């Protein structure tokens, strides 16, 4: 049974989520504040951690950072009532894998939970298979065996979601990928959720790829999506 930790201080919301996820066959533990959440996350093994952002004790973002110091691989989903892009960006910068804005329908939460758990299973099995895969575009090198990314000599540190996104692009280099295709491949969601999560992550990835003035590889194709390729005059 998949184990989920839910850190949420609103008891009614926590109870609602726990009831729904338990009915779907998940084992859900609840922490009502950030400090307890951290203790539970450190002393148990969870497949997924769902974090509210506004919490007493440690807030969700601080909690996410603290968990990530110990555990790079556990899937983390933020719940936030703070629907501004600024807060979302801050939250994802703390290395969560996805976010959901309150209020949400339970079915939306369930879709995210299933997709995050499927992704972490996939990552685990591909790590076990040990097949060596290397991809290159210009000075960009992705080693899918060691999960390392470099541009020339510079090592680029990516979160797991950024890495999956880059892997999709480099496996499909020069091909224009639509937001929906990206959402389906990277987030495992095959319908338009009306969020800008793809754009947010493309921007994160782009910033890291272009650090120190490196040339643009990840291009916007207006009205179509994104493409990874070496620069030419047709794109910006
Ligand atoms: Ca709260």
Under 8 Å between Cβ of 143 and 186:
no
Distance CA 211, CA 180 (A): 27
pLDDT tens column, 168-211: 999 999 999 999 999 888 888 777 666 688 999 999 999 999 99
Distance 132 CA to ligand 1 centre (A): 43
* pLDDT score of 236: 43
Distance 63 CA to ligand 1 centre (A): 13
Distance 135 CA to ligand 1 centre (A): 42
pLDDT tens column, 214-223: 999 999 999 9
Distance CA 31, CA 26 (A): 16
Under 8 Å between Cβ of 103 and 70:
no
Is CATH 3.40.50.2300 correct for 3-128? yes
Residue 7's SS3 state is strand
Distance 25 CA to ligand 1 centre (A): 25
Residue 42's SS3 state is helix
End-to-end alpha-carbon separation of the chain, Å?
Answer: 48
Distance 229 CA to ligand 1 centre (A): 42
List the chain domain ranges: 3-128, 134-228
CATH number of this structure's domain 134-228: 1.10.10.10
- Establish whether domains 3-128 and 134-228 are of one fold: no
Distance CA 79, CA 82 (A): 9
């Amino acid at each position: 049974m998949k184990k989920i930790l839910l850190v949420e201080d609103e008891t009614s919301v926590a109870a609602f989520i726990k009831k729904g996820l338990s009915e779907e066959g998940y084992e859900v533990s609840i922490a009502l504040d950030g400090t307890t959440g951290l203790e539970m996350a450190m002393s148990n093994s969870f497949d997924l951690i769902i974090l509210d952002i506004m919490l007493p004790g440690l807030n969700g973002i601080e909690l996410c950072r603290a968990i990530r110091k110990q555990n790079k691989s556990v899937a983390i989903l933020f719940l936030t009532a703070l629907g501004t892009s600024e807060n979302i960006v801050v939250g994802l910068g703390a290395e969560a894998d996805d976010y959901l804005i309150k209020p949400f329908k339970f079915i939306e939460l369930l879709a995210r939970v299933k997709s995050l758990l499927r992704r972490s299973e996939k990552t685990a099995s591909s790590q076990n298979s040990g097949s060596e895969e290397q991809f290159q575009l210009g000075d960009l090198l992705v080693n899918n065996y060691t999960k390392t990314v470099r541009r020339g000599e510079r090592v680029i540190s990516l979160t797991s979601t950024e890495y999956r996104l880059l892997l999709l692009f480099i496996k499909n280099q020069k091909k224009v990928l639509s937001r929906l295709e990206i959402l389906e491949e990277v987030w495992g969601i095959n319908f338009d959720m009306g969020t800008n999560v793809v754009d947010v992550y493309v921007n994160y990835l782009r910033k890291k790829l272009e650090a120190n003035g490196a040339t643009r590889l990840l291009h916007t194709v207006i009205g179509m999506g994104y493409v990874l390729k070496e620069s030419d005059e047709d794109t910006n």
